[in-house]
Amino acid sequence: MKVIYGIGKVDRTLTNAVLAIGVFDGLHVGHQKLIKAAVRRAQKIGAPAIVMTFSPHPVRVLHPDSYLPFIVSLPHRFKLIEQLGISACIVVRFTKKFSQLTSQQFIKKYLAGRLCPKEIFVGGDFCFGKKREGTALYFKEAGREYGFKVNAVSPVRMGRKKIGSSQIRRLIVQGKLDEVRRLLGHSVSVMGKVVKGDGRGRTLGFPTANIYPENEMIVPVGVYAVRVIVGHKEFSGMANVGRRPSFKKKKNLINVETHIFDFKRLLYGKEIIVKFIKKIRNERVFDSPKKMSAQLARDEMKCRNILKA
């Protein structure tokens, strides 16, 4: 999938496309429904299917004091979007100046003036432009004037509630992984580059791939049965999320230490995705390496059984 930062760099091969617009944080089942609808329509009319998203998140710009971690970071989101059949993703930089554009200015400058899309897909509650003045209904009327069709996709609901990113964030903090999995359509996961640790896991017989996820929500600290994506392959493993209380370090950052079962390759500098399947225990302090090694052996057996099931 081609990733383009800025609307000015879009080439002609991406004009006359079917465009899905949104932040798509988490890429939950509602977002997937919208993007898949755009992909199906693009295939039907023989046009490219592309996504337009925004970075940073509008809330971070308009309300900088609020804490809003991404469910998945932007690079992680690219991988998930690509899997849905999108050929390109345009990232529009969201700034305070950009937020002052009226809905009509946004259409003229970013859509009709540059992309000339054939059709656009947005959520039914989509609002855009200064003070969120542009509704999906207005977008449809403006589209007829500028020569493109706007499709408003209804939200996905679980019971009476509409699935939303705020709801998913709350559930991740609470560690309710099964509920989150139903709303996301995939497991809670983090992505990061493997960095060199202090080698203690290897001396205990459980070498780990260590990552420090940036700008992504982290599940509660503890030990988890996980799936690990390395390149295009998926492996089973176990991961400790936390600050490693048994070892004192100056930089006490939250990290994810993953032991991949039956895996021998070095991964330093490689990007991996860790998918959290089930928490098996809380983080603990061990007063000796021998006791920790024995517990890790029990953890491995438990995780293997969970992942087989």
Each residue of 25-84: pLDDT tens digit? 889 999 999 999 999 999 999 999 999 999 998 988 988 888 788 899 999 999 999 999
Helix H or strand E encompassing 200: helix 200-203
What's the pLDDT at 204?
A: 72
pLDDT of residue 192: 93
Residue the block writes with tokens 């899309």: 117
Asked if pLDDT for residue 246 goes beyond 50, the answer is: no
Residue 236 to residue 105: CA distance in whole angstroms = 50
In this structure, are residues 303 and 240 in contact, taking their beta carbons and an 8 Å threshold? no
What CATH number has the domain spanning 2-162?
3.40.50.620
Q: In the predicted model, what is the mean pLDDT of the chain?
A: 90
Q: What is the mean pLDDT of residues 90-95?
A: 94
d(Cα 174, Cα 254) in Å, to the nearest integer?
17
So what's the pLDDT on residue 247?
A: 45
Q: What's the pLDDT at 226? A: 98
Look at the block and give the residue holding tokens 């940073």: 56
DSSP string over 247-288: S--SS---EEEEEETT-----TT-EEEEEEEEEEE-----SS
The whole-number average pLDDT for the span 229-258 is 78
Report field, pTM of the whole predicted structure over 0.85: yes
Using 50, 70 and 90 to split pLDDT, how confident is the model at 245? Answer: very low
Residue 127 has pLDDT above 50, yes or no: yes
> Exposed (0-12), middle (13-18) or buried (19+): which is 280, by Cβ within 10 Å?
middle
Contacts of 268 (CB under 8 A, 6+ apart): 194, 195, 196
In this predicted structure, what is the pLDDT of residue 93? 94
Q: How far is CA 170 from CA 64, 180, 218, in A?
A: 20, 9, 12
Helix axes 177-184, 165-173, angle to 10 degrees: 160
Q: What is the mean pLDDT of residues 118-128?
A: 93
Confidence of residue 244 (pLDDT cuts 50, 70, 90): low
Residue 220, preceding peptide bond in cis (omega within 30° of 0) = no
Contacts of 182 (CB under 8 A, 6+ apart): 158
Superfamily of domain 187-308: Riboflavin kinase-like (2.40.30.30)
- Residue-range domain boundaries for the chain: 2-162, 187-308
Residue 277 pLDDT greater than 70, yes or no:
yes
pLDDT (tens digit per residue) in 164-218: 999 999 999 999 999 999 999 999 999 999 998 776 767 777 899 999 887 788 9
Are the C-beta atoms of residues 272 and 192 closer than 8 Å to each other?
yes
Which run of H or E residues covers position 138? helix 136-146
Looking at residues 107-116, what average pLDDT do you find? Answer: 90
Residue 40 pLDDT = 98
**Where residue 145 falls among pLDDT bands split at 50, 70, 90?**
very high
